[in-house]
Chain A
């Protein structure tokens, strides 16, 4: 089966190299988690996937196709994206936030409403929230709206950049469960960036552990099925990381 995302010798630099020569294959129909300390380049790695950044070496493929250089907007719309703090547009209501892309894609109002309802049900968001503005919602509610917005157009791939980090631990357990329901219902391949190994082990089928070399350059320390990584850590760094969660 073709991989959801594949990096072939990919590298990115701004002033210095963020990472170099990354080879990775993230499986389709599964959730992959990229775990590592802050500053190791995991967010930048994620942003190579939806063409927000371009690799300065190597190449990136999504479902076997190279990331396009033209019509990137259409490409990005097939990839859902959610971030820490949800990033909801404060001038739009909840319903408008979630529907924005569908409206731009000229979906019928009825189809938009129906799809929104479907997603809201999956994450336990009630009808009366739709007309509210983001600042009137709790952090957990905002994050669930962010997930719904990311999934509105039924993307084939979902990119999550620390979406659950800012949520308090009790609400986080709920939102993890709701995310799993969403993911399983939508059958969407997911790449999750997080610094929380516990979250990664709970949600992901496939683990990518990133670290930092001496010069600050990020690198892949270990990648593999979650169970395999857990039972056979590649080195002390990974072992300590796994132990910190238990």
Chain B
């Protein structure tokens, strides 16, 4: 009987997971998008339903999402795995990596072939003028204006380790990687950390310095999949093993980044050319048709509003009820505002990332984070306004025989209303701005084109998110202004204590 039940449960589970699409993620830079597309399209052509979470975030966000089961597959790099995730010492052999990943329920499939290692790139003219060819040459040129990605600045296999091995005694500035090459082209900086497969290296005439002390570990691209991923899907992804060398990858990166091709187009061409999709399964190409910019804009805006509204409504309710409950007890009110203020000081990206282990990725953690950010302005405005009501009015309200609820309903709430609305307005505008970051954890919204645009160095995409977000913020201001006029008599001037 017991065995029968377990078998039935297992069958149900298998059925349920069969209907669920395979979630393919990627990190937020060009190459990762292409690899994500390749994996996604390959699976689709093999007949699997696929959900894309491309450009999901940095290393930690992608890896956490994978272990949390929010993502089924993404392509990682062996060096990153060893240093940034697993903290392995010594040579990260495939066997050692696989053994370290197993407890987390994650399998590492065969390497795709290319080694996208870190490299230091120096503007070609500068390198030629100064005769720079090796990383160790830099010691004599500390006046070079270097700016490296924030991740590189922090990672043991990045600047900190490089500095030790080569004896550098300075620290370069941080810069968003996608912007670094443009900065070099503009002459704003002289050098940056590069990846050896970056398509921009040739285009921008950037000289790669030889790692003459062999510091940078190998960064072979490896698909990471959840161990419970369907065997057929694993087999399909395994077909990618050994199919790409450094030059192939650099060419694809350049095609997507500099040429006219989209990442999806580059991926499709690659699969076709190498005949990786197995026609025998009879599956059709399910890659989504390119959607119109207007429809995409509407969808992103709708999603953006959804995120903000879902966070703002409960935050308003909670903050106002809390304020009403505690405003008469001044130390408690101060403590509540203080705690809400502490929440506000957590950087948005950090707060979003913190929630991934608890809530997974997507809508929920984004809404929770936005909710927490919305609490402070509303709570602070409500508490300050309520506590600031003329004590004579409070005394009269009691003495004339108003019951506690009537007091709130007819005196306190209406008197505090302009400030409460001002608080909600502040929270809404902050929320619209912060919600653009939600795209980093796969929640979508107007941040989606911004994140993609940053990763793909595409200003048009960035504007496609940034301009509507700014317009939305302005529209929100106007709507709340009108609401305030409607809900409060003119002489009760709005006070924003935020």
How many angstroms between the C-alpha atoms of A113 and B401 in the bound complex?
Answer: 21
B401 near A77 with CB under 8 A, answer yes
A135 near B400 (CB under 8 angstroms)? no
CB contacts between A and B, total, < 8 Å: 61
Please judge, given known A-B contacts A81-B396, A83-B392, A100-B410, whether A90 and B401 are in contact too, CB under 8 Å. Answer: no
A149 and B415 contact, CB distance less than 8 A? no
**With A87-B393, A91-B414 as given contacts, are A77 and B400 in contact (CB-CB < 8 Å)?**
yes
**Cβ < 8 Å to A, chain B residues 430-484:** none
- Bound together, the chains give a CA A92 to CA B406 distance in angstroms of 14
**Binary interface encoding of chain B residues 71-108 relative to chain A, with 1 for a CB under 8 A from any of its CBs, else 0:** 00000000000000000000000000000000000000
Contact B489 A91 (CB under 8 A): yes
**Inter-subunit contact B400/A81 (CB<8 Å):** yes
Q: Pick the contact of A104: B390, B396, B399, B406 (CB < 8 A).
A: B406
Shortest Cβ distance from A81 into B: residue: B399
Q: What residues of A have a CB within 8 angstroms of the CB of B392 in the complex?
A: 83-85, 87
- SS of B interface (majority): helix
For A89, give its contact among B398, B399, B415, B417 (CB under 8 Å): B415
B7 CB within 8 Å of chain A: no
Report A119-138 CB contacts with B as 1/0, cut-off 8 Å: 00000000000000101000
Q: Are A52 and B401 in contact (CB-based, < 8 A)?
A: no
Given known A-B contacts A73-B402, A74-B401, A90-B415, A83 and B489 have beta carbons under 8 A apart: no
Q: Does A47 sit within 8 A of B, measured CB to CB?
A: yes
For chain B, the bracket of interface size reads 20 to 34
Q: Could you say which residues of chain B place their CB within 8 Å of the CB of A100?
A: 400, 410
Known: A74-B401, A89-B411, A101-B401. A135 touches B491 (CB 8 A): yes
Task: Give the docked Cα–Cα distance between A89 and B415 (Å).
Answer: 8
- Chain B: CB-nearest residue to A159: B399
A interface residues, tally (CB under 8 Å): 27
- Whether A237 is near chain B, meaning CB under 8 Å from some CB there, is no
Contact A52:B414 (CB < 8 A) given known A87-B393, A91-B492: no
A47 and B399 in contact (CB under 8 A), knowing A89-B393, A135-B491? Answer: yes
Mask, A85-110, CB within 8 Å of B = 1, is 10101111000000011001000000
Taking the complex as formed, is A75 at the interface, i.e. its CB lies under 8 A from any CB of chain B?
yes
A50 to B403, CA, bound (A): 14
Minimum CB–CB distance from A167 to chain B (whole Å) comes to: 16
Q: Which residues of A contact B274 (CB under 8 A)?
A: none
Q: Does B2 contact A (CB under 8 A)?
A: no
B-contacting residues, A16-69, CB 8 Å: 47, 50, 52
A212 within 8 A of B: no
In the bound complex, what is the Cα–Cα distance between A77 and B401 (angstroms)? 5
Which residue in chain A gives the minimum CB-CB distance to B492? A91
CA distance A137 to B411 in the complex (A): 20
| A76 in contact (CB, < 8 A) | yes
**Complex Cα–Cα for A85 and B396 (A):** 11
Tell me if A133 and B399 are in contact (CB < 8 A).
no
Q: How far is the CB of B397 from chain A (nearest CB, A)?
A: 8
B400 and A149 contacting across the interface, CB-CB below 8 Å: yes
Per-residue interface assignment for chain A, residues 154 to 187, with 1 indicating a CB less than 8 Å from any chain B CB and 0 otherwise = 0000010000000000000000000000000000
Q: What's the nearest-Cβ distance from chain B to residue A86, in Å? A: 9
Q: Given A83-B392, A87-B393, A73–B415 Cβ distance below 8 Å?
A: no
Most buried by A among B398, B401, B492: B401
- B488 at the A/B interface (Cβ < 8 Å)? yes
CB-CB < 8 A to A87: which residues of B? 390, 392-393, 395-396
Q: Nearest-CB distance from A137 to chain B (Å)?
A: 12
**Other A-B pairs beyond A73-B403, A76-B400, A83-B395, 10, CB < 8 Å:** A52-B399, A72-B401, A76-B401, A89-B415, A90-B415, A90-B491, A92-B410, A101-B402, A104-B406, A159-B399
Q: Nearest 10 A-B pairs (CB), nearest first?
A: A76-B401, A77-B401, A87-B396, A81-B399, A73-B401, A87-B392, A91-B414, A73-B403, A52-B399, A81-B400
